[in-house]
Amino acid sequence: MNVTDRRRLLGPSNAKSANIPETRTSSPSKRSEDEIRKMFLKTGLVGNANGSAYLEVDDTIIEVSVFGPRPIKGSFIDRASFSVECKFLPHIPQPNEETFKNQSGSASNVRTGLTTVEQKLSSYIETAFLHSIILEKYPKSTIDVFVTIISADTTSSSNKSLLNLCNWVSNCTSLALVDSGIEVKDMVTSGQVSLNKSTNKILMDPDYSNNYSEDDSVDCVCSYMNMLNDVVVGFWIDGNQDDLDEQTMQKLFENCNGMSKKIRSNFNSYLRGTIE
Amino acid sequence: MILSPAERSYLYDSLIQKPPIRPDSRSGHQFRPLEAKTAFLPSSNGSARIRLMDGSECIVSVKAKVVLKSQESSLIECDIDVSGNRDDSNFVSILKFNLTNLLCQNFPMDVLQLTSKYSYKLFIDCLVISHTSYPLTLLSLATYLALKTTRLPLLVSDVDDSEVEEQPTFSDDWDKSKYLKEMVSSNSKFQPPIFITLGVVGDNLLFDPSTEEEQVLENGLILSWYNNKVITPISNINLASNSNNSNFKGMDPILISKSLALLKKYCGEIVDALDGIIEHDDATEGGIF
Amino acid sequence: MELYSPEGLRIDGRRWNELRKFECRINTHPNSSDGSSFIEQGNTKVICMVQGPMEPVLRSQSNPNQANIEISITIANFSTTERKKRLKNEKRLVELKATLERTFEQSVMCKLYPRTVIQVNIHVLAQDGGLLAGITNAITLGLIDAGIAMYDYVSSISAGLYDTTPLLDLNTLEENDMSTLTIGVIGKSEKLALLLLEDKMPLDRLESVLAIGIAGGHRIRDLMDEEVRRHGNLRLSKVNV
């Protein structure tokens, strides 16, 4: 006797399996060392936000919405308060989350609130944009930025991919702020480079997922306001560097600045395109 | 204490002088005086307490546990509890991120190895009982002292257990225990990494800014120091807890290079001073207060 | 393991009516709180910091008739031999907090400080039995140091019953194996401000356990009083110079 399986909903007998294409074997793109990966930009996707931006670079997909200036309840404040919340979609593995997760202890696996990695990202963005937004223009209000990381490259087990993510999140946030029409002193753009210690070579916008096995590098993400004397508004240097000297630092900053200028010109041409 | 706009402006004008005039008459590269006590928790492998004159206080305990190496992703775990702040707040998370990041990347993990299968895992618990300024330096200095006074029991079983199923056993005699610093290979000194916070006002860099100074700073820097060198991670930070610090602005990259030079000049003394505290600390003296 | 030997000795060598080493200090954190204390009862170590009486942050916290006492307890992860992460809203802690708040609302002259809040922060650094007793003693000293008016000392001690013998001031090992009660004695009287018994105890034995507890409480009161007077004299000597 044929026992029917009551526990499952079986498909029709003539079912065909879905045609899933084989995973794309990403060939290491032949970029030169000072070339940035190709990106896809789109602003104004989120209808109910005051400004929004969407950015895709390889496996990294980021969406940023800006809400504000919104009025606040309660006592008067003479400058707008600014807050940033970065969240990964629940199923997305976070870069280097193993290190920062408390394995022992009673805290269950359920994510409540933001994880430590998300908090760090939020904090970086908040610090980097605090100077740029003219908060004095918006008394008694708040400006809230919500960043959603839809997909991220997490193959590297160190902070390096987090640095790269920081870079793209800050660039995307910048675009969203422009889209929202909130007054800013200048657009903040970031660059991220990696310096190989043994060869002393700089790699712009390194792709950590592709056969990138350089443990011997120092990595830097740095955010600039290029029209204000290339002033640094946020930076984070990480990596296996056991002696940081002024020359290394200068080199990192110069190249980050170069990359941020390239991104800025990309953004400019995109924004010009949206107006026309 | 929150300063009024007039007080802020006065303080800012005095800090931007060359050399800066700080409210507690410190020079730019001077730390606030602190007192410390080490090895006072009998149930921890290492412990330290640091107190500043303004009442900021931090207690750090180091506990070691024997673990199977294959099951652990990291041999150091930090946890921070700040009195009056929720554990999942941004403030506590960032402190935890920084400390974990620093220690996991810059710690001689080989001293924790026991056998080919087993290893120690260090649990570093920090309790900030009260704080006025940003407590990261306080935390990291206390962690330095706690790690330096950490003692681990002597392993009496075989080091090589790749062939046999055997759990490591330890000597019951606490007098035979070894300090972490004695287990580091002799050619290097055991000096755990520390964080230094710097405040930026104009062209001036201020070590260890106090809570009043934090409210007028143009930017803040977190730098790390290990084995007499400036190391990564380094980053900038808004030290004032509210986004209401209207002075906050970007900075010239030259200043960051300048901060490296400053650290190289003064950090050696800071570490020596901490080592001095441990040497002069009399464990037999009763009571921690 | 023998908790109480036929010769009348407990595992740490004490007799049935002996206290563990009790040390206390007041005014340990003069710069960060209005009143503070540190007590060591055996290996149990507790820091207490008192802020107030002060204006409450929220209107809803203020009571027009009397002061509000708020107690927050932090038990450090490293306080026990086996490290354990504790949540702030653990049920046991919430109950402990409620018990303490009720005790001190009766013992402090709250009527004198209307529309204010007295914030008590407790940090438990190490625990080895007698947690509630330790915290209660630390709060008493902290409140005294803050200059808050109280009717009398609340001195607290735990006592247990081993077979038919009452034992005073239990450590963790003893606490885990026998029924324990914690009492808070008011000054030199035989009145209790606090009594907590979480398991069973035969009614006919209760009196003997209470009697030894009260005697122990009086001894603790004397030790605390000594410290308060020592500190008082120290301050006085500074005023005269």
What is the mean predicted confidence (pLDDT) over B59-73? 90
Q: Is residue B166, in this structure, part of any structural domain at all?
A: no
Cα separation, A222 vs B16, in Å, equals 25
Q: Is residue B285, in this structure, part of any structural domain at all?
A: no
Enclosing domain of residue B220: 5-156+178-280
Q: Is residue C117, in this structure, part of any structural domain at all?
A: yes
**Residues C25-56: pLDDT tens digits?**
999 999 899 999 999 999 999 999 999 899 99
**Residues A150-186: pLDDT tens digits?**
998 877 667 888 999 999 999 999 999 999 999 999 9
Q: Say what the pLDDT of residue B235 is.
A: 93
- pLDDT at residue B59 above 60? yes
Provide, as residue numbers in chain A, all residues whose Cβ is less than 8 Å from the Cβ of C83.
Answer: 104
Q: Say what the pLDDT of residue A200 is.
A: 83
Which CATH number covers residue B95? Answer: 3.30.230.70
Query: What total of structural domains would you count in chain C?
Result: 1
DSSP string, B50-102: EEETTS-EEEEEEEEEEEEGGG-S-SEEEEEEETTS-TTSHHHHHHHHHHHHH
The dihedrals phi and psi of B13, each to the nearest 5 degrees, come to -60, -35
Q: Is residue A219, in this structure, part of any structural domain at all?
A: yes
Residue C217: pLDDT band by 50, 70, 90 thresholds? very high
Q: Say what the pLDDT of residue C59 is.
A: 84
Cβ of B150 under 8 Å from any chain C Cβ? no
The region of weakest confidence among A109-118, C69-78, C154-163 is A109-118
Q: Is residue B190, in this structure, part of any structural domain at all?
A: yes
Q: What letters, b where the CB count within 10 A reaches 16 and e where it falls short, cover B120-133?
A: bbbbbbbbbbbbbb
Interface test with C, best of B1, B43, B87 (most C CBs within 10 A): B43
Asked if omega into B192 is within 30° of 0 (cis), the reply is: no
Q: Do residues A123 and A130 lie in contact, with contact meaning Cβ atoms separated by under 8 Å?
A: no
Q: Residue A100 region, left (φ>0) first, then alpha (ψ -120 to 50), else beta?
A: alpha
Q: Is residue C106, in this structure, part of any structural domain at all?
A: yes
Q: Say what the pLDDT of residue B64 is.
A: 93
Q: Say what the pLDDT of residue A105 is.
A: 42
**Residues A198-225: pLDDT tens digits?**
888 888 888 877 655 556 788 999 999 9
- Surface of A (15-44) touching B: CB under 8 A: none
Q: State pTM to two decimals.
A: 0.91
Provide, as residue numbers in chain C, all residues whose Cβ is less than 8 Å from the Cβ of A105.
Answer: 77, 84-85
B42 contacts C126? CB cut-off 8 A: yes
- The CA distance from C34 to the nearest CA of chain B, in Å, is 11
Amino acid sitting at position B130:
S
Cβ of B223 under 8 Å from any chain C Cβ? no
Q: Is residue A107, in this structure, part of any structural domain at all?
A: no
Q: Is residue C183, in this structure, part of any structural domain at all?
A: yes
Report the Cα–Cα distance between both ends of chain B, in Å, rounded. 26
Q: Is residue A246, in this structure, part of any structural domain at all?
A: yes
Q: Is residue A26, in this structure, part of any structural domain at all?
A: no
For residue C195, what are the β-bridge partners? C183
Query: What total of structural domains would you count in chain B?
Result: 1
**Closest partner residue to B41 among C31, C32, C78, by Cβ?**
C78
Q: Is residue A180, in this structure, part of any structural domain at all?
A: yes
What is the mean predicted confidence (pLDDT) over A128-144? 93
- Surface of B (95-134) touching C: CB under 8 A: 123, 125, 127, 129-130
Q: Is residue C210, in this structure, part of any structural domain at all?
A: yes
Interface test with A, best of C85, C86, C92, C93 (most A CBs within 10 A): C85
Which CATH number covers residue C77? Answer: 3.30.230.70
What is the mean predicted confidence (pLDDT) over C150-157? 96
Enclosing domain of residue C81: 22-240
- pLDDT at residue C88 above 80? no
Per cent of chain A over pLDDT 70 is: 87
Q: Which structure tokens are listed for C25? A: 């200090």
**Closest partner residue to B63 among C32, C78, C88, by Cβ?**
C78
Cβ of A106 under 8 Å from any chain C Cβ? yes
Q: Is residue B173, in this structure, part of any structural domain at all?
A: no
Residues of chain B that touch chain A, judged by Cβ-Cβ distance less than 8 Å:
72-74, 77, 79, 88, 90, 93-94, 96-97, 100-101, 104-106, 123, 226-227, 229-238, 242-244, 246, 248-253, 256-257, 260-261
Q: Do residues C73 and C97 lie in contact, with contact meaning Cβ atoms separated by under 8 Å?
A: yes
Enclosing domain of residue A256: 39-92+114-275
Q: Is residue C218, in this structure, part of any structural domain at all?
A: yes
**Residues A210-267: pLDDT tens digits?**
655 556 788 999 999 999 999 999 999 998 767 788 888 899 999 999 999 999 999 9
Interface predicted TM-score of the whole assembly (ipTM), two decimals: 0.91
Q: Is residue A167, in this structure, part of any structural domain at all?
A: yes
Query: What total of structural domains would you count in chain A?
Result: 1
A102 contacts C84? CB cut-off 8 A: no
Interface test with C, best of B76, B130, B133, B285 (most C CBs within 10 A): B130
Q: Say what the pLDDT of residue C134 is.
A: 96
